[in-house]
Structure 1
Amino acid sequence: MTMADNAELESFRRQWREEVESRTKPITAGTSQQTSSRTAAPHPRHFPPTRHEAFARKEDEDGEAVVPSSQSDLVQGVDGLSLARPDDEDAFQSRTPRTEPKSALEHFERAVEKEAEGNLGDSLQHYRKAYRLDAAVDKEYRNKHFAGAWKKTTQTATSKEPTKPTSDVKPDIVPTSKLITSFFSFPIPPAEPLFEGDPAPPCPIAHVPSEVIVEILRHVALTDPAAFCRMALVCKRFAYHFSHEQHIWKRICQGAKFGFKAMHYSFACDVHGNPEHRLEPLPRYTPFPTDIPVQLPSPLSSWSEVFHTFPRIRFTGIYISTVNYTRAGAASAYSNISWNSPIHIVTYYRYLRFYPDGTVIYLLTTVEPVDVVPHITKANVTAARATSRKQHQKSAQDSVTGPQDPVPPIALDALKRAQWGRWRLSKPESPTDSLEESGYSFPTKDKSTSTPDPRDLIIETEGIGAPKYIYVLHLALRSSTSRPVIAHPMAPNPSRNTKLVWKGYWSYDKLTDDWAEFGLKNDRAFVFRRVRGWGINY
């Protein structure tokens, strides 16, 4: 590279910086001017006047946020430009910035590359990071890079076996609905004998009329819909009734135990869980009332699809958000080697338990779910918060669950920081709106309105340490992307409305009427987990 080339490159860099600075100055001034002229914040029942950064953040299937690149990254990329010849590959690769590995497998692959280059220091550093993130990362590396060789050996071994002649006749594919309809004439098969040659055990339900079987299935469905779904896998006769008895699904949808009559589209209590008293109680909204005739929404064809598709909150378990992030530890005072510095993996959890009366328990702690989830109840939270007022821990445990089943100290200490709150869903204009994938925009200063998303969930909790604060969580119901491992005609589809993704998190000061925004850089979505120990009586 000649001196003329260096001068030309420096001139280009200087002109680029001047152009970027001229573009960013008006934006900065406008932002500061807009920030200085603040107006009064709305009532905490509404959203703040500005959008949260989590609203525009895109997430992949694992919930990781995708952060867009800024202009400063573009300037740094221009500084790394060179005028090397195209055939000079070494110079080009040395100046091209490489993305830093994030997962354990990426760190392991980078360590192998560094070890092949002879850079043992960097290689050891990446090996340590990989094994801290995943102790079995070496098996994952072998499966990714050497599984092809294993498959070739197995294929050559099986190719030596004689192949069976195949016929050119393709079997007819029967639609699932037609296949299930043919199950009506199938009898209920008895259980197989325990030992070969013994008579089969009796099966009294095989001789029960269909009307009685439908009544039994109705009682099971109203008691626990999950058990009703599992009964469809018992035999073909139950699968037929599970699919065609839509009046059972309609009863579940209109019920107050698992259906949409238990959903709240306006706050039913205050932040502390006390019911709101009005002189004239307002009629409670429900998308499928029982006092008037209701029909199926046009996009759906059965009440079972309505139950699995419409946004609803689940009360038989808890929503958990697991947050993991890494931070660098302090280097040893007796060593100046950077690769010997520790790396800390921080993990904490957010818990949300909803109740049909409109209340919610919100907990942020580092205690793992197996230690605290079975004890997240209203009575335990009340007793745990009483112990923080200088009461004895033993008396609180005896008053909660009795001396035979006390609350562990680690769970009792975590429940002291639990917060009471209330929840509501966004009220749709019509039941059909619950199926639309419409976005939601916050109200602006000019009071422009837009159609709310029926999947939006609003939670208000009490503040920590000061009663003047109210925390507002804006979440949205989403569906899981996992697929069943075994394909079965009656196997349920991937669970819907089992995730709560973040759209915003704010703090509202009731005295100053001011809003503050919480950052959600590392936070992940909430995922529903059923807790069988709670039962179905909540």
Structure 2
Amino acid sequence: MEDNPELNAFRRRWREEVSRRNKSPTLPKQNSSQPAGPELDPPPPTRHRVTDFKEDVEEDLGQDYGEFVQRTEHLTLRAHDEDAFQRTPQKEPSSALEHFEKAVEKEAQGSLGDSLAHYRKAYKLDSAIDKKYRNKHFASKTAQSQTENKVPESPDKTDELVVLPTPQLILSFAGLPIPQAEPFIEGTPPPPCPIANISNDILVEILTHIALMDPASLCRMSLVCKRFAFHFAHEQHIWKRLCQGPEFGFQSMHYSFACDLAGHPYHTLAPRYTPFPRGIPAQIPDPLSTWSEVFQIFPRIRFTGIYISTVNYTRPGGASTFTTESWNSPIHIVTYYRYIRFYPDGSVIFLTTTTEPMDVVPHISKENVAAAKPVDHRQHHRKRSEIAAQEASTSGAPVPAVAMQALKHALRGHWHLNAPTAHETESPAQFPAPPLNSNEAPAPEERDPRDLVIETEGVGPKYTYILHLGLRSSNPARIVGATKSPPNVSRNTKLAWKGFWSYNKLTDDWAEFGLRNDRIRSFVFRRVRGWGL
């Protein structure tokens, strides 16, 4: 092949250019007067520009890493939805800390036997596991309390901040606009906020519809912005509508039995008593001052969930045949549950079982109880066809066998609250009142509107059970000596135990159920997704 002089000249100039660039870090300026030669491709890079400022980037990341860790420490994810009552697959604990955390969880649920087993495993693996658990879960709170206890010495005491009372602070939110959300990308316009441009009348109407759907959602909306907090605290006609309505208010409360034990309503000519009737002027009872306080504090049964009582007691186990020492005898911790579900029509379902809430709570309903109970051939109106129709009418997935087995022991009944004032009602003949103890029976002039009476079926047709409870707060220790309840106290979420009797309709005898072995006697309310919402 013949040599091409132009190709040889190009190769020679290329070698000279490459050697010149390797010797000097800067490229020589090209003289514009010289004739332009053939265009040369740039050589492959040997070093990227990012290596020049790599140290600065690492220094910045080191400065921001501590702040990033501090922010992400407070981000937590719930293991399961509390309202769903569904089991989630959980990994068995292996370390001492995992056993200790599992023990605390079981103790909060009332399973003292499982909790004790995990505590023993945790301390067997590490004797100081309680300190590690405290440092992991309560280290931030301890540090925060220590910083709050330190009072900084300010040189100028005249510049102290004036703390406004809560009512005045919320009142100052009246004229504030609804803020827009932050932009997703810095430098871009924020997303639109159509609700910020509507008038107050439409906004209050929207809040009213939300309150009638779920009052808890209205409470959560007050945390969105200051404008919503103002409407939440000052729009009292929303709370009045809640109090007088049948959705969550006192129109659904019963102060005398409204149905029989099977749930069939009584037909009476007298109007049913309600403390705040609609259509006529209603007054706020003393010492309450607003309708929001009436809705939160006045005795009221909740229909959006279930009341659960976890009962634990111990009993001695069988002694070993190979030893006579009493200290080596086992002790069994027995745990069982009581469930009460109320209905707005005055009926109730009462269940006592060892089945855990996750397995039975989503399936407690009138239809499932009717389908689970055996057919009584002596009752002609309870035919198998009717029970099959009720079972087919239930919506959702089929009921598990463990739930149906537990619902066989469910008792149907009816309930009523004690009226706040004396009133005359034409109610059907009821059983005589149980013989209350002297320290529990209120005087006629001291009517307690928090008292609740539940009457259910017994083990046989001749027996009837009477349950006497009282509406209380979940944390009454916070409101001892206070004239008004603080906003973080949940009212009407606990049923205190007062008495449990059995009535024999044939012999007219009363028998009281003793509860000397019970450790926890109160019922605590738990919301259930889809019930009344």
Question: TM > 0.5 between the two?
Answer: yes
- Equivalent residue number for residue 282 of structure 1: 270
Please report how far the alpha carbon of residue 442 of structure 1 lies from its aligned counterpart in structure 2 after TM superposition: 4.5
3-state SS of the aligned residue for 1:500?
strand
Query: Equivalent of 2:522, from 525, 528, 535?
Result: 525
1:461 equivalenced with 2:461 (yes/no): no
Please report how far the alpha carbon of residue 535 of structure 1 lies from its aligned counterpart in structure 2 after TM superposition: 4.5
Please report how far the alpha carbon of residue 165 of structure 1 lies from its aligned counterpart in structure 2 after TM superposition: 6.2
- Equivalent residue number for residue 364 of structure 2: 376
- Equivalent residue number for residue 241 of structure 1: 231
Q: Give the TM-score, by structure 1 length.
A: 0.64
3-state SS of the aligned residue for 1:461?
strand
User: Is the 8 Å Cα contact of residues 287 and 430 (structure 1) preserved in structure 2?
Assistant: no
After superposition, what is the alpha-carbon deviation per residue over 1:39-78, rounded to whole angstroms, capped at 9, x for unaligned?
xxxxxxxxxxxxxxxxxxxxxxxxxxxxxxxxxxxxxxxx
Query: Equivalent of 1:330, from 314, 318, 325?
Result: 318
CA distance in 2, matches of 1:396, 1:198: 60
CA distance in 2, matches of 1:315, 1:172: 43
Please report how far the alpha carbon of residue 276 of structure 1 lies from its aligned counterpart in structure 2 after TM superposition: 1.9
1:507-522 aligned at under 5 Å gives the runs 507-521=502-516, 522=518
Tell me: CA distance 1:215–1:377, structure 2 relative to 1, closer, same or farther (3 Å): same
1:504 equivalenced with 2:494 (yes/no): no
User: Is the 8 Å Cα contact of residues 455 and 477 (structure 1) preserved in structure 2?
Assistant: yes
Tell me: CA distance 1:146–1:248, structure 2 relative to 1, closer, same or farther (3 Å): closer
- Equivalent residue number for residue 399 of structure 1: 392
CA distance in 2, matches of 1:336, 1:443: 43
Identity %: 59
Please report how far the alpha carbon of residue 170 of structure 1 lies from its aligned counterpart in structure 2 after TM superposition: 2.1
- Equivalent residue number for residue 215 of structure 1: 205
Please report how far the alpha carbon of residue 318 of structure 1 lies from its aligned counterpart in structure 2 after TM superposition: 0.3
Please report how far the alpha carbon of residue 453 of structure 1 lies from its aligned counterpart in structure 2 after TM superposition: 1.1
1:77-96 aligned at under 5 Å gives the runs none
- Equivalent residue number for residue 347 of structure 1: 335
Query: Equivalent of 1:410, from 396, 399, 402?
Result: 402
Please report how far the alpha carbon of residue 132 of structure 1 lies from its aligned counterpart in structure 2 after TM superposition: 3.8
Please report how far the alpha carbon of residue 164 of structure 1 lies from its aligned counterpart in structure 2 after TM superposition: 8.9
Query: Equivalent of 2:413, from 407, 421, 424?
Result: 421
3-state SS of the aligned residue for 1:533?
coil
Counterpart residue identity of residue 346, structure 2: G
Give structure 1 stretches of 5+ with no counterpart.
Answer: 1-104, 106-127, 432-439, 485-490
Please report how far the alpha carbon of residue 483 of structure 1 lies from its aligned counterpart in structure 2 after TM superposition: 9.0
Counterpart residue identity of residue 508, structure 1: Y
3-state SS of the aligned residue for 1:507?
strand
Please report how far the alpha carbon of residue 131 of structure 1 lies from its aligned counterpart in structure 2 after TM superposition: 4.0
CA distance in 1, matches of 2:458, 2:384: 22
Tell me: CA distance 1:252–1:462, structure 2 relative to 1, closer, same or farther (3 Å): same
Tell me: CA distance 1:501–1:448, structure 2 relative to 1, closer, same or farther (3 Å): closer
CA distance in 1, matches of 2:230, 2:444: 47
Tell me: CA distance 1:362–1:154, structure 2 relative to 1, closer, same or farther (3 Å): closer
Query: Equivalent of 1:470, from 442, 464, 467?
Result: 464
1:188-337 aligned at under 5 Å gives the runs 188-278=178-268, 281-337=269-325
3-state SS of the aligned residue for 1:290?
coil
After superposition, what is the alpha-carbon deviation per residue over 1:318-345, rounded to whole angstroms, capped at 9, x for unaligned?
0000001122211222334444432211
3-state SS of the aligned residue for 2:488?
coil
1:32-51 aligned at under 5 Å gives the runs none
1:385 equivalenced with 2:373 (yes/no): yes
Tell me: CA distance 1:139–1:183, structure 2 relative to 1, closer, same or farther (3 Å): farther
Q: Give the TM-score, by structure 2 length.
A: 0.64
CA distance in 1, matches of 2:260, 2:129: 51
User: Is the 8 Å Cα contact of residues 368 and 391 (structure 2) preserved in structure 1?
Assistant: no
CA distance in 2, matches of 1:146, 1:222: 44
- Equivalent residue number for residue 531 of structure 2: 534
Give structure 2 stretches of 5+ with no counterpart.
Answer: 1-99, 101-112, 378-382, 424-433, 479-485
Tell me: CA distance 1:143–1:452, structure 2 relative to 1, closer, same or farther (3 Å): farther
- Equivalent residue number for residue 63 of structure 2: none
- Equivalent residue number for residue 364 of structure 1: 352
Please report how far the alpha carbon of residue 187 of structure 1 lies from its aligned counterpart in structure 2 after TM superposition: 0.9
Counterpart residue identity of residue 481, structure 1: N
Please report how far the alpha carbon of residue 209 of structure 1 lies from its aligned counterpart in structure 2 after TM superposition: 1.1
Please report how far the alpha carbon of residue 258 of structure 1 lies from its aligned counterpart in structure 2 after TM superposition: 0.6
After superposition, what is the alpha-carbon deviation per residue over 1:483-524, rounded to whole angstroms, capped at 9, x for unaligned?
99xxxxxx9421111111111111000000110110022151
Tell me: CA distance 1:391–1:142, structure 2 relative to 1, closer, same or farther (3 Å): farther
Please report how far the alpha carbon of residue 400 of structure 1 lies from its aligned counterpart in structure 2 after TM superposition: 5.4
Counterpart residue identity of residue 188, structure 1: I
User: Is the 8 Å Cα contact of residues 383 and 400 (structure 1) preserved in structure 2?
Assistant: no
CA distance in 2, matches of 1:170, 1:354: 53
CA distance in 1, matches of 2:437, 2:272: 25
User: Is the 8 Å Cα contact of residues 483 and 494 (structure 1) preserved in structure 2?
Assistant: no
Please report how far the alpha carbon of residue 241 of structure 1 lies from its aligned counterpart in structure 2 after TM superposition: 0.6
Q: CA RMSD in A?
A: 3.8
After superposition, what is the alpha-carbon deviation per residue over 1:343-381, rounded to whole angstroms, capped at 9, x for unaligned?
211000000000010000000000000110000011111
User: Is the 8 Å Cα contact of residues 388 and 416 (structure 1) preserved in structure 2?
Assistant: no
CA distance in 1, matches of 2:474, 2:370: 33
User: Is the 8 Å Cα contact of residues 383 and 399 (structure 1) preserved in structure 2?
Assistant: no
User: Is the 8 Å Cα contact of residues 318 and 351 (structure 1) preserved in structure 2?
Assistant: yes
Counterpart residue identity of residue 170, structure 1: E
Tell me: CA distance 1:270–1:388, structure 2 relative to 1, closer, same or farther (3 Å): closer
- Equivalent residue number for residue 452 of structure 1: 447
3-state SS of the aligned residue for 2:208?
helix
User: Is the 8 Å Cα contact of residues 466 and 500 (structure 2) preserved in structure 1?
Assistant: yes
Q: Which has the larger radius of gyration?
A: 2
Moved more, 168-177 or 259-268: 168-177
RCO higher in structure (CA 8 A, sep ≥6):
1
Tell me: CA distance 1:211–1:285, structure 2 relative to 1, closer, same or farther (3 Å): same
Tell me: CA distance 1:139–1:405, structure 2 relative to 1, closer, same or farther (3 Å): farther
After superposition, what is the alpha-carbon deviation per residue over 1:381-430, rounded to whole angstroms, capped at 9, x for unaligned?
111114798989x979962546x711011001000110000000111227
Please report how far the alpha carbon of residue 458 of structure 1 lies from its aligned counterpart in structure 2 after TM superposition: 0.4
User: Is the 8 Å Cα contact of residues 374 and 533 (structure 1) preserved in structure 2?
Assistant: no
1:45-124 aligned at under 5 Å gives the runs none
3-state SS of the aligned residue for 1:184?
coil
3-state SS of the aligned residue for 1:414?
helix
User: Is the 8 Å Cα contact of residues 371 and 388 (structure 2) preserved in structure 1?
Assistant: no
Counterpart residue identity of residue 476, structure 1: G
Tell me: CA distance 1:494–1:284, structure 2 relative to 1, closer, same or farther (3 Å): same
Please report how far the alpha carbon of residue 133 of structure 1 lies from its aligned counterpart in structure 2 after TM superposition: 8.1
CA distance in 2, matches of 1:269, 1:251: 26
3-state SS of the aligned residue for 1:519?
coil
Counterpart residue identity of residue 274, structure 2: T
Counterpart residue identity of residue 498, structure 1: T
Please report how far the alpha carbon of residue 207 of structure 1 lies from its aligned counterpart in structure 2 after TM superposition: 0.8
Moved more, 246-255 or 187-196: 187-196
Moved more, 311-320 or 520-529: 520-529
Please report how far the alpha carbon of residue 145 of structure 1 lies from its aligned counterpart in structure 2 after TM superposition: 11
CA distance in 1, matches of 2:284, 2:183: 45
